[in-house]
Amino acid sequence: MAASTGVTAAKVARGAARTQRRAFLLLILANALWAGTYSAAKIALVYLSPVQLNALRLSLAALLLSPVLLRGWRRIPRDRRTLLALGSAVLLGWILNKLFEYFGLALSTASDVALLISTESLFTAMLSWLLLRERVTRMGIAALALGLAGAYLVVERGLAPHLGGSGAEGARIAGDLLVVLSLLLEAGYTVRGKAALGAVSPLLFTSVTITVSLAFWLPAGAMAVSQSGWPHLPLAGWLAVLYMAGIATALAYWLWFRALAVLDASAAAPTLFVQPLLGAALAVWLVHDTLTWATVAGGALIALSLLLVIRSARAAPAETLGEATP
């Protein structure tokens, strides 16, 4: 009897280990799919304005995520606090954030944005200290300092400041700064989202906020078309938009949240390294970005800061991981 119980327990343990391995692979795949967003967006921005791209991408993403919303809309609380949290999350995460991010990407490079994206975790920690009164740690302060130093190297591509640069270099710096601002807003989206995630599942939260954001993006997109005419997208442009909407938004979020149903956020955190590193590599390969020593060094400092954030998070209670939304 004891032997039979031991065999059963061993089978259960092996099954749980296989499930965790599959979940970890799903997290890696989700981050790999997000890594391609920056190059895809850079291709799409050749043919579309940032407003047109966001309107088209988020409309398609909302359509693909509509089954989640249709099944779960009755579970959305109607109390004032939750609705305010959802409204502020829409404004910060899917309107202001995407405005600054894609206008910034239009001026900058896909590799810069892929590397800078990891600083969102640092801004989330900083806002959590300030707004949620979470505990400030020495490791958190060190991570913030390293991440900001890395972001400086990526933006400036050297030690000396060139904020007054002109021409293409000045435009790239301005674009990087817009992206950094968008990540600060993204961190606000994550922090505000914590107020709603207790009552709404993460995938439903994503579906709701994307859909509500269309109240802004559809009129803004129509206005952009009326001013510049209907865009003519070649196959490459359509593939880029469909990738961003179907693969990097609907599919990647489904994979991410399915895996987090099995794994703790602290166990999932190391997979966040995939997005900036693979994103920069894809930018070099697909859109022929060039990397300088400062870009590589800055990316390394940002990666090190993310490692410190992960180690600090493992010491805290597990919660839904704040992932940057490309």
- Rg, the chain, Cα only: 20
How far is C-alpha 68 from the geometric centre of its chain's CA atoms? 20
Q: What is the 3-state secondary structure (H, E, C) of 72-97?
A: HHHHCCCCHHHHHHHHHHHHHHHHHH
- 126-141: string of b/e by CB count within 10 Å (b at 16+)? bbbbeeeeeeeeeebe
How far is C-alpha 321 from the geometric centre of its chain's CA atoms? 11
pLDDT at position 138, please?
A: 80
Instruction: Return the domain boundaries, the chain.
Output: 19-314
From first to last of the 326 residues of the chain, give the pLDDT tens digit.
555 555 565 555 566 667 778 888 888 898 899 999 999 999 999 999 999 999 999 999 999 999 999 998 888 888 887 788 888 888 988 999 999 999 999 999 999 999 888 777 777 777 777 776 667 678 778 887 888 888 888 888 787 776 555 678 888 989 999 998 998 888 777 766 655 556 677 788 889 989 999 999 999 999 999 998 888 899 999 999 999 999 998 898 888 878 877 776 556 666 777 888 889 999 999 999 988 888 899 888 888 887 777 676 555 544 444 555 67
Residue 109: phi and psi, rounded to 5, are: -115, 155
pLDDT at position 320, please?
A: 45
Spatial distance between the Cα atoms of 100 and 94, rounded to a whole number of angstroms: 10
Spatial distance between the Cα atoms of 307 and 163, rounded to a whole number of angstroms: 29
Which amino acid is present at 139? M
Residues 6 or more apart whose CB falls under 8 angstroms from that of 220 comprise 51, 54, 55
Helix (H) or strand (E) holding 42: helix 37-44
264's tokens: 């703790």
Spatial distance between the Cα atoms of 207 and 69, rounded to a whole number of angstroms: 6
Counting Cα atoms < 13 Å in the Cβ hemisphere of 232 gives 0
Whole-angstrom CA distances from 159 to 16, 90, 146, 196, 294 are 49, 37, 14, 42, 8
196's tokens: 């709603």
Q: What is the 3-state secondary structure (H, E, C) of 210-252?
A: HHHHHHHHHHHHHHHHHHHCCCCCCHHHHHHHHHHHHHHHHHH
pLDDT at position 169, please?
A: 83
Closest CA to 181 of 109, 101, 113: 101
Spatial distance between the Cα atoms of 127 and 145, rounded to a whole number of angstroms: 15
Instruction: Tell if the pTM clears 0.85, that is, is over it.
Output: no
Q: Would you say 282 and 102 are in contact if contact means Cβ atoms under 8 Å apart?
A: no
